[in-house]
């Protein structure tokens, strides 16, 4: 004797099984716990499918109208939190269809004509991922604008540029911010490219071979704002490269977010004090009253673990699957859902942090002036003004750096006599290149740190965003 839950399950399977699956099979087979997030896409796809069936004369107009109205009722129930999701019905598709039958009766059974859950879920998921690409693009736009605001404010602020986290050469704050603008802009372009590639419609591929009904796949593709239907029914139901591409783009973006978050953590420390985060984005300590912890930045830094983990997980799921559909592919969604949630949260938080960031320009300049940051400018001067080969100029500069280190001073603090003891061609003009402002102003090559170059890049990006 079967209970009501088994009866519901058996009804959806059309009487194939004499008894319902046991609790373990039900638990491993059901996806409604997570794929209910696809409800809006599922209902949208079903409405487009029903309208096409009616237009093609496959179902009656009256049935299509009943289906349309019934689906709107189901949608309102889900959005109001009044929908009775049932694990026994396995997934969002069966839950919606079963509820539709309760709402409108017999016409609901005509909705699934000329389609399968295979093309249905592929369509729903593709619509959802496409929406997430749009959300990522919007989030990156907001972040890029915040970075541009910081860059414009600090186009002249001198700070140390680092290699190996050691002081290398002076750069400007604006130049450093614009480096991330370029990174995040490439991230945005990856999501835009991925969106273009995924914008083909699987609906109508049915289980794997297409359908004998005279459907119009171009009509359903257009109704769902796809560019075209997918050209091969096997491919349409069996691949998830659109999700992999979204995850890959998300992983690269999360790496960039993590790098910036790491810098914010370092820069806000007592040892650097380059920046201060607002109270919105930092927390105190339960025991140390002086602490202001950069928790938001640290959490953003950690998000790459979740997102990259999701990417590896789905690649692993897909790597050995023969055509066409396999139940393994049910494991595609939770990873993508979690990665998308993590990315959108990280983008929003980073945009907020950057927008609220207070920069300590005195600390930046003091740090830029230390650590022999203008040594390369000295070497370049020796090449340009004294005619030394660069390798010789490099050696002379290294000797002067060693001299300054021994005296416990920086290069501009060496006397002209001391410098000339290393190379007599050095004259008073050398001091004009040893100041950090002169150093950054001289870097006029395209893409360089000179304030004029930074402002030109800011103007270019403002124009592009407009």
Q: Do 136 and 191 contact (CB within 8 A), yes or no?
A: yes
Residue (of 46, 47, 49, 40) closest to 83 by Cα position = 40
Distance CA 168, CA 223 (A): 56
How far is 11 from 224, CA to CA, in rounded Å?
Answer: 30
Q: From the candidates 62, 76, 278, 285, which is the catalytic residue?
A: 285
SS (H, E, C) 14-76: CCCCCCCCCHHHHHHHCCHHHHHHHHHHHHHHHHHHHHHHHHCCCCCHHHHHHHHHHHHHHHH
Strands (E), 232-375: 275-276, 358-359
Output the six-digit token pair for 402. 């060693």
Q: Where are the alpha helices (DSSP H) in 199-240?
A: 217-223, 233-238
Task: Report d(CA 39, CA 445) in Å as an integer.
Answer: 53
Cα separation, 48 vs 273, in Å, equals 57
Residue listed under structure tokens 């619509």:
127
Let me know if 285 is a catalytic residue: yes
Distances (CA, A) of 430 to 188, 216, 423, 442, 451: 44, 77, 12, 14, 22
**Number of residues in the chain:** 466
Neighbouring residues of 10: CB distance < 8 A, sequence distance ≥ 6: 2, 16, 17, 20
Closest CA to 454 of 158, 142, 143, 137: 158
Active site residue 233: no
User: In terms of Cα–Cα distance, which of 99, 74, 77 is closest to 86?
Assistant: 99
β-strand 166-172 against 158-163: which pairing, if any? antiparallel
Biggest alpha carbon–alpha carbon distance for the chain: 104
Q: Which of 164, 286, 415, 445 is catalytic?
A: 164
Backbone angles phi, psi at 205, to 5 degrees: -70, -15
Q: Is 110 exposed, middle or buried (0-12, 13-18, 19+ CB in 10 A)?
A: middle
Omega cis (within 30) before 324: yes
Q: Which residues are catalytic?
A: 164, 285
């Amino acid at each position: 004797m079967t209970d009501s839950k088994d009866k519901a399950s058996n009804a959806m399977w059309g009487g194939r099984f004499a008894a319902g699956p046991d609790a373990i099979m039900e638990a491993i087979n059901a996806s409604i716990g997570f794929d209910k997030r696809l409800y809006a896409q599922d209902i949208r796809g079903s409405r487009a499918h029903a309208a096409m069936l009616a237009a093609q004369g496959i179902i009656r107009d009256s049935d299509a109208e009943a289906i349309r109205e019934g689906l709107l009722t189901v949608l309102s129930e889900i959005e109001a939190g009044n929908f009775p999701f049932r694990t026994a019905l396995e997934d969002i598709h069966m839950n919606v269809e079963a509820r539709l039958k309760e709402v409108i009766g017999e016409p609901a059974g005509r909705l699934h004509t000329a389609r399968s859950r295979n093309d249905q879920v592929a369509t729903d998921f593709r619509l959802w991922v496409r929406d997430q690409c749009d959300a990522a693009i919007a989030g990156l736009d907001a972040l890029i604008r915040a970075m541009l605001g910081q860059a414009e404010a600090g186009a002249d602020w001198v700070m140390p540029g680092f290699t190996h986290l050691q002081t290398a050469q002076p750069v400007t704050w604006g130049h450093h911010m614009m480096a991330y603008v370029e990174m995040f802009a490439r991230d945005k372009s990856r999501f835009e490219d991925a969106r273009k590639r995924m914008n083909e419609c699987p609906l109508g591929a049915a289980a794997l071979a297409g359908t004998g009904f005279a459907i119009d796949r171009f009509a359903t593709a257009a109704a769902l704002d796809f560019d075209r239907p997918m050209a091969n029914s096997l491919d349409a139901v069996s691949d998830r490269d659109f999700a992999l591409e979204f995850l890959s783009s998300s992983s690269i973006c999360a790496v960039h977010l993590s790098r910036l978050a790491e810098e914010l953590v370092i820069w806000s420390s007592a040892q650097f004090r380059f920046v201060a985060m607002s109270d919105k984005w930092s927390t105190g300590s339960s025991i140390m009253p002086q602490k202001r912890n950069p928790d938001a930045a640290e959490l953003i830094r950690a998000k790459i673990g979740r997102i990259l983990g999701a990417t590896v997980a789905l690649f692993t799921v897909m790597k050995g699957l023969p055509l066409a559909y396999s139940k393994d592919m049910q494991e595609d969604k939770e990873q993508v859902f979690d990665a998308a949630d993590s990315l959108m949260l990280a983008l929003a938080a980073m945009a907020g942090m950057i927008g609220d960031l207070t920069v300590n320009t005195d600390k930046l300049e003091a740090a830029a002036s230390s650590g022999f940051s203008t040594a390369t400018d000295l070497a370049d001067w020796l090449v340009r003004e004294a005619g030394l080969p660069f390798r010789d100029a490099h050696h002379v500069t290294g000797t002067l750096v060693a001299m300054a280190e021994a005296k416990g001073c920086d290069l501009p603090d060496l006397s002209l006599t001391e410098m000339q003891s290393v190379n007599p061609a050095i004259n008073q003009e050398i001091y004009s290149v040893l100041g950090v402002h002169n150093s950054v102003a001289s870097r006029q090559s395209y893409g360089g740190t000179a304030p004029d170059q930074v402002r030109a890049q800011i103007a270019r990006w403002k124009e592009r965003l407009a």
